Structure formats: C-alpha cells, structure tokens
Amino acid sequence: MDPEIDARRALSHLRYHDPELGLLIDRVGPFGLSLSGEATLFAALAEAIVYQQLSPKAAATIFARFCALFPGAPSCPTPEQVLEASIEQLRSAGLSGAKQRALDDLARRVVDGEVPTLAQTREMDDETIVERLTAVRGIGRWTAEMFLIFTLGRPDVLPADDYGLRRGFQVTFRTQTVPTRDEVLRRGDRWSPYRSIASWYLWRALEVAA
C-alpha cells in the first residue's frame, strides 16, 4: 500500500465507522497487503490478464511459462517481444485464445502509446486509469481495480464485483445470501477513504472462518 497511508489511522477509521468490520480486523490481525514488484505497466497488466478466472497456483504456472518463452527478458517479456511471437508460441504456455488475443492487444496499445506508462498512472486519478485500461481487450473494471490496489497501492478502491470479496462480506456481516454489488457499495461508503484496506480484510474473512 502507498507508504503515505497510515495503516494505524486507516484501521482506527474502519473500526470506528463499522464496528462489525472491526471485529474481522481483530481476528485477522495486522494489515499486510504487499504491492506487485512489476516494473512496468505492461508486466503488471500481462500478469493480471493471465490470472483472470484461474486459481492462483494454475495462473502462476502459466505466467511462469509465458515469461520463460522469452529468456532474454528481465522478468516479463516486453510488448515488442509479445508482438513478434507467434500465436502458437504464446498458446504453448497454456494461454487460452482469449488471453493470447488480450495480451496481443495490450502489447500493441502499449507500443502505440495508447496505454499510459506506470509513471503516468501515478499522476492520474482512479477513474481515469480505469477508463484508459478498460479500453484494452480483455481488461474489465475488475482487472483495472486489481491494478489500482496491488500495483499502485491506491487506498480507496472497492472491487464490489469480486466474488471472493462478496463472500467475505456475507461471512463478516452474516447476510443470508451473497450481497449484490450495490449492497457492497452502500456499506462501503462508511469505509472511505480506506476501502482498499477494508477489501483486503474481507478477502481474508473466509480464511478466518475456516
């Protein structure tokens, strides 16, 4: 999370404005979100695309194979390398056709300057970033929000469409059914400006319940 964010102040705010969430915070313990170490926007978004709709273990395996296709790259291939690769090469890493096409579109837009650099996104507001990134094939609001939280460390993002977060909400607030996006957003108003921190704790709720 952004080093300028005072975790103690954030947790105090969340406990004060939502005592039930405060009980979850006490059960989970210290806030421990770690930011992605990717050095470029392309690397961060390429990883996010690969991870879509897969278990973390399966996604990590495929992403490692994808990176291994380009042994000269420092950690993740460059957009230029992806554009030079054949469809067969990319698919051999285990990428679906949809993800291969999304990576190709992302790489092309980065090369053409249609997608901001990582440095440029640090100067943009959250909604502008979401708007710019969701123009890329295969990147929806959820992926853009994951980028905001886990790459930029933005403190006030609430991915209300995330099923794991909504299940954590159900367990924490003991709702009979999994809440809708609107229900999550309504309760989330009381967590602002630290909705990313609240989200991290809601993702942990199922682990604590288990």
Active site residues: 162
Structure tokens at 133: 């990134």
Closest CA to 165 of 149, 151, 154: 149
Q: How far apart are CA 12 and CA 89, in angstroms?
A: 50
In DSSP notation, 138-194 reads T--HHHHHHHHHHTS--SS---TT-HHHHHHHHHHHT-SSPPPHHHHHHHHTTTTT-
HSE on the CB side for 81, CA within 13 Å? 18
User: How would you label 62-80 residue by residue, b for 16+ Cβ within 10 Å and e otherwise?
Assistant: bbeebbebbeeeeebbbbe
Rg (alpha carbons) of the chain, rounded to whole number: 18
Structure tokens at 134: 């969701």
SS3 15: helix
